[in-house]
Copies of this chain bind each other. A is one copy, B any other.
Amino acid sequence: MEYLKNVWIEKVHGDDIDAEEDVVILETRVSIFLNGQKAISTMCIPKDQDAHAIGFLMSEGVIKSVEDIESLELKADGLEVHITARIDEESLKHLYKEKTLVSGCGGGVTGNTAENVQVPFIDTKLTVTLDHIRETVGRFYDESELYRLTGCVHKALLSYEDGTTVESEDIGRHNAIDKVAGKSRLKGLPVERAMLIVSGRLSSEMVIKAVMHRIPIVISRTAPTFLGVKTAQEHGVTLIGFARGRKMNLYTHSGRIKP
């Protein structure tokens, strides 16, 4: 499948660390052009782009019916969808009226940052042991009252060398990171010496948030995307996924991790 990417990772299982090839999902920016104008971009799997554009524009009330579509064409190797259609101008305006980041989003903007803002490379010498990671991840999952009650929140935790931890929960995985970083900033904690643990998937904008805050180690119990891995590689973040029990996958800059 053309939206899968092979990456070499280090698989940790107990005390064993083995290099292995693994597969991660590709996320790409697909842009929708409406009557010759760029309407919006979306980070997604480059598959069913035509259906995606139509479903999205109808969800937003911009196109009322498929009958209103005159033509639809994929260009730029599928990264652009060009649509000619009769549209509802009012609904189209609402697309731009207010920038609202919805739950699970929060990064509607960080999606742009990497291209426009000077993003640092993290070269800190911080190291942590596998056991310390396991212990911290274990505690991370013990303590979510809000998740237990609602099943509807993501969590982020920053763990510091002196044992201090700061945590936040939110509906959005991006919000949880912003909150925990902001809390740490307000307390004056050295986030550039912290380990970030999150409950959500590691897509590129999650990694960029960490980079912008100079957080050198990012850990999740679930999966990264290919762009997440690539971003971590390029900006000096140690990226760890599938951290569960005695196992974890080291995707990038594993030199900070000691057995």
Contacts and interface: CB of A to CB of B under 8 A. Distances in A.
Interface of A: 1, 4, 23-25, 27, 29, 40-45, 47-48, 50-56, 58-61, 66, 90-91, 94-113, 116-118, 146, 149-153, 168-175, 177-183, 185-186, 188, 200-201, 203-205, 208-209, 212-213, 222-225, 242
Contacts of A174: 102, 104
Instruction: Tell me the interface secondary structure of chain A in the complex.
Output: mixed
A122 B124 CA distance: 56
A101 B94 contact: no
Contacts of A52: 170, 175, 178-179, 182
Contact of A101 (B41, B50, B113, B180): B41
A150 B185 contact: no
B224 A106 contact: no
B41 A200 contact: no
Given A48-B182, A172-B43, A186-B54, A59 B100 contact: no
A168 B42 contact: no
